[in-house]
């Protein structure tokens, strides 16, 4: 049986436990239980969640485990010496050591992320970089696997992480079956971004929504403010003001953001050359697209494709 120990800290969100549902339903789908899941805390006993629900936990154990996961919290909490010692002693000896959301801070405090690529929730990336400037943080990733260390962005990404663990243990078909049972799209790989530029725009009026739809359908064309203003039925000045009010950004930055996302998807999902992708998404040339990628992701399209293939 595969032993999984899940560490929680006071004030953790109930959502973080959703990652354990993958192991639960894998056990229900198999002829006999495959995973032995234990929920631990520093001293055991009842631990209150951020919503006030109390969960009974077991204290840290010296027994070895196959997979050790430290769950996230609603904020960055101090890593106690006892927790750090447990992570070092038990985590290093385990086959897999994982962290969800702010759990990455505990692994970093314990010195277990040196030389590793990691991720955490986008809301905590600036804090993480400030505290651990020497660590290789991949900001816009759902989850990252680097050797035996697994890190996930947020609590929902923890489900993607454990589905990937399940696939590694029992194969793709089992992972897909569990994902189907949980009504989860089992296509969210670790390389998927945490956020989508489509989600950042929330226009209130139909005319601005129509403009965004027009942009997405015509990325390969020259999209000037005058062109977009005509779609909206406004003067360029009225349009720029209305667009900024409703989306929080300028038309030019919105167009670049949509082009960057479309290009990223093509880089990850197609075999088109970087040059062709730059043309198809309206950048025109590779250098212009490279600068936009640097601004958006901190790395070039070539580096992103190389990482995806790896």
Does the CA dihedral 225-231-234-235 come out positive or negative?
A: positive
Q: Decide if pLDDT at 194 tops 80.
A: no
CA distance 60 to 82: 9
CA of residue 219 relative to chain centroid, distance: 26
Mean per-residue pLDDT for 144-155?
Answer: 92
More confident residue, 307 or 165: 165
CA distance 174 to 104: 28
pLDDT tens readout for residues 94-132 = 999 999 999 999 999 999 999 999 999 988 999 999 999
CA distance 27 to 296: 41
User: DSSP string of 137-154?
Assistant: E-TT-SEEEETTEEEESS
Percent of the chain with pLDDT over 90: 65
213, 202, 199: which is closest to 255 by C-alpha?
Answer: 213
Q: Decide if pLDDT at 298 tops 90.
A: no
Inter-residue contact 150 to 144 (CB < 8 Å): yes
CATH of 2-181, one of 3.40.50.1100, 3.40.50.720, 3.40.50.880, 3.30.870.10: 3.40.50.880
Residue-level pLDDT at 232: 93
More confident residue, 268 or 276: 276
Residues of the chain with CATH 3.40.50.880: 2-181
CB atoms within 10 A of CB 141: 23
Residue-level pLDDT at 266: 86
136, 142, 139, 166: which is closest to 154 by C-alpha?
Answer: 142
More confident residue, 201 or 4: 4
Per CATH, the number for 197-309 is 1.10.10.60
Residue-level pLDDT at 192: 56
Mean per-residue pLDDT for 41-56?
Answer: 94
Residues of the chain with CATH 1.10.10.60: 197-309
Residue 53, burial from CB neighbour count under 10 angstroms (0-12, 13-18, 19+): exposed
Q: Decide if pLDDT at 18 tops 60.
A: yes
Using left for φ > 0, alpha for ψ between -120 and 50, and beta otherwise, residue 78 falls in beta
């Amino acid at each position: 049986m595969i032993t999984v120990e899940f560490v929680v800290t006071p004030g953790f969100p109930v959502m973080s436990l959703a990652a354990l549902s993958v192991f639960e339903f894998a056990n229900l789908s198999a002829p006999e239980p495959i995973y032995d899941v234990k929920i631990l805390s520093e001293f055991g006993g009842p631990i209150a969640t951020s919503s006030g629900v109390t969960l009974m936990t077991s204290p840290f154990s010296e027994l070895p485990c196959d997979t050790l996961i430290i769950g996230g919290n609603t904020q960055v909490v101090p890593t106690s010496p006892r927790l750090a010692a447990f992570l070092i002693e038990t985590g290093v000896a385990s086959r897999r050591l994982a962290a969800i959301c702010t759990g990455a801070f505990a692994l970093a405090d314990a010195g277990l992320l040196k030389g590793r690529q990691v991720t955490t929730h986008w809301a905590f990336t600036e804090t993480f970089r400030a505290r651990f400037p020497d660590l290789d943080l991949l900001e816009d990733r759902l989850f990252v696997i680097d050797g035996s260390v697994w890190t996930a962005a947020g609590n929902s990404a923890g489900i993607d992480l454990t589905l990937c663990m399940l696939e590694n243990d029992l194969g793709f078909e089992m992972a897909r079956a569990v994902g189907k049972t949980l009504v989860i799209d089992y296509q969210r790989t670790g390389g998927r971004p945490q956020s989508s530029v489509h989600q950042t725009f929330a226009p209130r009026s139909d005319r601005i929504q129509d403009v965004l739809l027009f942009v997405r359908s015509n990325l390969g064309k020259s999209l000037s403010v005058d062109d977009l203003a005509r779609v909206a039925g406004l003067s360029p000045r009225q349009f720029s003001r209305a667009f900024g009010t409703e989306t929080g950004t300028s038309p030019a930055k919105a167009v670049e953001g949509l082009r960057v996302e479309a290009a990223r998807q093509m880089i990850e999902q197609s075999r088109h050359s970087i040059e062709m992708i730059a043309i198809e998404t309206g950048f025109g040339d590779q250098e212009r697209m490279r600068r936009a990628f640097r601004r958006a992701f901190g790395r070039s399209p070539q580096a992103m494709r190389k990482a995806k293939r790896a």
